[in-house]
Structures are given as structure tokens and as C-alpha cells.
Chain A
Amino acid sequence: MSKYSMHLLVCGGTSCHSSESDAIVCNLRDELEAKGLMDSVQVIMTGCFGFCEKGPIVKVMPDNTIYVQVKPEDAQTIVEEHVIKGRKVTRLLYKDPVTQESISDSKHMGFFKKQLRIVLRNCGFINPENIDEYIARDGYQALGKVLTEMTPEQVIKEVKDSGQRGRGGAGFSTGLKWELARKNQSEEKYVVCNADEGDPGAFMDRSVLEGDPHSVLEAMAICGYSIGASNGLIYIRAEYPLAIERLKIAIKQAREYGLLGNNIFGTGFNFDIKLRYGAGAFVCGEETALIHSMEGLRGEPTVKPPFPAESGYNGKPTNVNNVETFAAIPAIILKGAKWFSSIGTDRSKGTKVFALAGKINNVGLIEVPMGTTLREVIFEIGGGIRNGKKFKGIQTGGPSGGCLSEKHLDTPIDFDNLIAAGSIMGSGAMIVLDEDDCMVSMAKFFLEFTVEESCGKCAPCRIGNKRLHELLGQICEGKGKLEDLDRLRNMSVVIKDTALCGLGQTSPNPVLSMMDNYYDEYVAHVTDKKCPAGQCKSLMEYVVNPENCVGCTACARVCPVNAISGERKEVHFIDPSICIKCGACMEKCKFDAIFIR
């Protein structure tokens, strides 16, 4: 048998997949076949590399070369040049945005330099559809260690000592949660994995499940052993078809090897995992709502206590953890609590995965130690703001979080610092805003989301958020009054205090934090009736600058509502009462004669 001397890793995450990465795999294989190289070069489809901005990615090992934005037709060049002749294809290398230099070794890219990958250790490295690759990378060793060498109490202590806090958003101690579930006696208990990732801009959990599904399965079994459960359920939204597919394959393979099922490792421990599909409701990320949804009831939260650890799925003690929380567990068991707790800050240990989105150069998936500053994340890993614009703010924690401004850039990211700054860690979505984003419209956008996703059970959330949204809408339209700002604030505080579940308790966060950090912008909207960012259409006026206008009539011809009048070769006039502010005239004008007032 001849040995593989080279591996071509092709990203098979959802985003690269939709940019035809499967066609790249096919073409590479065809090309290798044609050249008789199938025996020495292996093509592997992996999970997300994280560098989604420049996908699809092809990585060549062992020389660590990363090719970006690869098209299926590039397969021939890669095989003929790199594989056969050993020459790098410069055209496909990543170019440093500052120096314009091509970087071939991925280790020298700013994007990867600052990252520490624990949860994403196997993402973009192994083939997620092949359990053998996971085993070769020490997969299921942690489960083996736990079952043969440790008592459940020892496992819980290890997880507690590691200082890991739940990655779903609330930041509750994972070990403590397990301990509570263990203490409640019952014949039947459940381990639930919360894969109902719903905030706009978040794709951390999806990427983990797509890139390394076995790490979650292994951790669930470890959890089952610790709390005394033999049933695992993964609640995943049906909108994640690729993640579901890979989970199904992973579960099947683990069962075939006997790593799920009865008498695992001959120790008498039984554990199996089933999938439960959600319909994609944001509120079902809340653990009680999630459990009701799994039971076939409406996805509505209920008051805690009783906590799921006492009475959860089917009334049995249930432990719910997030995907990312689980994915770190095998590493904690194998490398120890001491190692894990040496990473991060005082009260937030380990690393956190973030999904970078918005007006940032390197949109993608990153994992950094807790305590990394926002500045490092945005400007070093994220490559700064798009099109050279100015940084304005960053929304962390999705619609439940807050918007942090320039003065927070040097804040080390951890659970407590983000709360102190007026936001939350949340599940890890980061949406970067630039100078063109209006903070009133942004708050309105997030409120729109929570209004839509509110289950309607409690009044503060159902009615309060709706009113908040209406008020913000009025302010955007120039119908707001100064006292409306106080009403916004008061109402937000009341909703936070009185709503039933996490959704309502956090939904006013964007409004509050944006009013704190960008109060002048809110005032400008209500008193000057102006939108400083130029986003709120009702507050804008398109005006002709008579000095530049040559009377070419181009604007009048393109106006869809005939709001522009004026004779040929004379200065034109835009009637603000007819103008719908579509901006078509400004785009058309070659003389920069139309501007926004």
C-alpha cells in the first residue's frame, strides 16, 4: 500500500458548501485520478476553518498552505502546480490587506495568530463524517477515562474546578449544574444538548456540529455518566440541515463502534442519543421552553423553580447544556481542570468562540482565550472595518445583548466585564457597526426581532416590547419627542424587571446600551429631526446644490415619482413632499450636485 504524502482539506461548512465546495472536492478528485495521484494525495472535506470571509478554503498539508476563494475550476491548477510541481499558486493565496503581500503559511495570518482553539480543535482539521479521524485525534479517550478511572463525583469536581461557565449565554457554572442534576434522585434522567442557536449573526454551534459532531456526543455521554442519565437528546433547529446530517452520521458510527448504546467499554454504562427538531423559534433556546417544545407542547417558558435539574423533560431531572459547553468537556477531562482554568480571566475560564459579522473585514468564526480585548478581536483578528470606514460600535450577545462603543474597545472580554460594560457575552455573536449605522434604527432592528420571537405568554414582553418598537419607529420617522427618550428608558427597565424569561428580561438591552453610549444621536433624532448616520429615510432630504447642477436632466429622468423639476441647462429642484428618498438621483448625478441634508 502506498502512503498519502499530501492531504488537501476542503472546507465543508455551510457557507463554503453553498459556494460550491463540494464541486471543488469532486474536481480535485477527478484531477488527481486523471494524473494517477489518487494513492498519494487524499482529499478530505472538513468542517469550518473559520475564515468564512474568503471561502471556500482549500488547505494543503503538510505545508500549511491556505488557498482562499477557490473555484471549482481552480482544481486543475492546484493539482498541476502545487501537487505535481510543488509550486504554490500565488493567485489563490491570501493577501495581507495592509501589505498586499501573499501569505502562504496559514500560521502567519493575523486571523489565526491570536486564536487558541479548544472547542474548534478539530474543526477544519478532521473529516466530520469519519469517526476514525476523531478517534485518531484522541476521540472518545475522555469518555474511556471517565468510565474506567473516575467516579461521577470526581468528574463533576473536575468540571467544577475547571471553572467552565455555560456558553449559551447565562454563564452558569457547568459543574454546578451537573451536580444539581446528580443530586436529584430518579430512575430516569436526561442529558439535553441545546443546539437551538437563534440570534442573528450567530453560527458558532452550527459550525461545531458540522465540523466536529463527535466531540458533542462524547461530552453528552460523559455528562450522562456524571449525573446518572442514560438518555441524551439534541434539540436542533430544522434550519440546520447539514449539521443534522452530520450528527446523524456521527450517531450511527458511534453506535456501530459501541461507543453509544449498551455496556460502553464493557463497563455496564448505557447511553444513547436521539435528535429532536425545533422549528426555529428564538424562545426555544430558553431551557424550559426548549423542554416543552421537545415534549410536543408549545414552546413557552415556565417559571423557575422548578429547575430542569429537578423536573425537566417528562418531569424527570434534566441537564441542559449548550453545544459549545459540551464540545470543551473532552479537552477538560483529558488535559485537566488545572490546565483549563489557567486560560482566561479570573472568573471566566477557557476560551470562547465568536461569530464575527457585520462591517468587518474578516467575517468568520474565531476562538480566543477569555480576556482578549475587543480591539484585538476587531482589528487584529477581524482585520478592521470594511472599506476603511470608522468603527462605531459592536453588538455582543445578539438581540439580548448590548452595543459597546469605542470607549469599551480595550475591555478584556469575559462574562463579568461585558455585563459591567452594559452588554452580555450571550452565545457569542458579534456584529460590528460602522459610522454609517444609525443607532436608533439598529435598536429598532433588534426589537423587531424580539417582538417577532416573543412567545406572548407574559405581558411585559408581549406588550412592552411592542410599545418599545413603536416608539423607536416614531423616533426614526421624526415624530419623536424628547420625553419619549425617558419613556423608552423607563419602559425598558420595567420590562427587564418583570418579564418571565430570559428573552423578555434581556430584550431591552440594545435600547438601553445604545441610549447610554449614543445618547446624542437619539437627541438629534427627536430635537433636530436629523439622523447623523444618514440612515433614517424620513429624516433625510435630498437637495440639489445649485453650484454644481448643470441641468443635464439625468436625475429627473431617473426619478421614479417625478419629484424633480427643472428646464434643460437650468438648476433642478427636488420637491420634498413627493420625494420617496430612494437615492436614485444621487447615484445617477455625474456632477455631485445632489446631497443629503
Chain B
Amino acid sequence: MSKITSLADLNKKREELKSGPGLRTNAIDPENVVQVKVAMATCGIASGAKTIMEFFLEQLERRNVAAVVTQTGCMGYCYAEPTIEVKLPGQDPVVFGFVDLKRADQIIEKYIKTGELVDGIIPVNYQTIDLKE
């Protein structure tokens, strides 16, 4: 272990280490960060959802976007796998289909960073119930 000999050292160290508990820090308040859900049912995984999930985990952090990336079950759009749902703070979730690495990159750069929509949006075609109400 190298010594921390100044406050600048400590700050550098903190930045390096942030990703350690970062996953937990963002999860304290998921409503205020970007939430990405990757459909990881059999069909999703078979079409490459795992790679997409890893891509988001890695790239969002590298590009300094505070986000919670979770996996979820089948969303029902098996024809469009891999599918992901992105929810920006305070907005309705948007589902993207046919997400490959190129589209994933666009989603981060355009939709997540600037709010500009990109190709591949799957319109909401069902309503769901809330058991609590």
C-alpha cells in the first residue's frame, strides 16, 4: 500500500475507489439516478444481453454517469432482444429493442446524456396493474 501524503492524494484515491461501493451508493436513491434494466431471460441472454449489461456497467461508470444497472426477467419483446429499459430521473421509462453495442453506445451518448431519443424504441403496448392500489 502506498502512503497518502496529501489531501490531493486522498482525493485521487477516493476517485479510484468510488466504484467499490458505488453500486450501493447509487442504489440508496435510485429515483435520482439513471436506471437501466436489462432483460435477462433465456432469450435475452441468448441474443447477447449479458454483453450489453457488462457494457452498461463498465461504460456508465467510465463516462461518469451515476446509474443503477439491474437485470430483469422477460419483457415480452422476444422478437427484439436484447431489450433494455432506461428510466431517467423524473421521466417515464423508455424501452429500447435490438440493442447491440453500437446502439448501446448511442443510448448512453444521446438518450442518457442529452435526452435525445434514438432508434429502436418499443412503444408501450400494454398496461400493468399495481397490486398495492
Contact = CB atoms under 8 A, between A and B. Distances in A.
B119 to A, nearest CB: 26
B3 A258 contact: yes
Contacts of B3: 256-258
A9 B20 CA distance: 13
Interface stretch (A134-142, A191-199, A283-291, A462-470): A134-142
Given A5-B71, A61-B27, A86-B72, 18 more contacts: A3-B19, A3-B57, A5-B57, A5-B70, A7-B23, A9-B24, A62-B69, A85-B73, A86-B40, A86-B73, A125-B21, A132-B17, A133-B17, A136-B17, A138-B14, A144-B10, A253-B1, A265-B5
A226 B18 CA distance: 29
A596 to B, nearest CB: 46
B109 interface: no
30 contacts: A3-B19, A3-B58, A3-B61, A4-B23, A5-B57, A5-B69, A61-B23, A61-B27, A62-B24, A62-B68, A63-B27, A86-B40, A125-B21, A125-B24, A126-B21, A132-B20, A133-B17, A133-B20, A135-B10, A136-B14, A136-B18, A136-B20, A136-B21, A141-B11, A253-B1, A257-B3, A258-B4, A263-B5, A265-B6, A265-B7
Given A2-B54, A3-B61, A148 B23 contact: no
A345 to B, nearest CB: 26
A61 B70 CA distance: 9
Contacts of B71: 5, 86
Interface string B41-74: 0000000000001100110010000001111110
A257 B14 contact: no
A265 B4 contact: yes
Contacts, number: 93
A265 B10 contact: yes
Residue among B11, B21, B27, B57 with the highest chain A CB neighbour number at 10 A: B21
Contact of A136 (B7, B22, B40): B22
Contacts of B24: 7, 9, 61-62, 125
Interface residues of A, number: 36
A87 interface: yes
B110 interface: no
A141 B10 contact: yes
Residue among A85, A135, A145 with the highest chain B CB neighbour number at 10 A: A135
Nearest to A105: B30
Ranked 7 nearest A-B pairs via Cβ: A62-B27, A258-B3, A136-B17, A144-B7, A3-B57, A62-B68, A61-B24
B20 A148 contact: no
A266 interface: yes
Contacts of B20: 132-133, 136
Interface in A244-259: 253, 256-259
B113 interface: no
Nearest to B7: A144
Contacts of A9: 24
A64 interface: yes
A5 B18 contact: no
Nearest to A148: B7
Contacts of B1: 253, 256-257
Contacts of A7: 21, 23-24
B39 to A, nearest CB: 10
Contacts of A138: 14
Contacts of B26: 62
A368 B71 CA distance: 34
Interface in A228-265: 253, 256-259, 263, 265
Residue among A7, A63, A136, A145 with the highest chain B CB neighbour number at 10 A: A136
Contacts of B17: 132-133, 135-136
A135 B25 CA distance: 13
Interface in A86-133: 86-87, 125-126, 132-133
Contacts of A257: 1, 3-4
Contacts of B27: 61-64
Contacts of A253: 1
Nearest to B68: A62
Contacts of A86: 40, 71-73
A107 to B, nearest CB: 9
A270 to B, nearest CB: 14
A134 to B, nearest CB: 9
Contacts of A136: 14, 17-22
Interface in A297-337: none
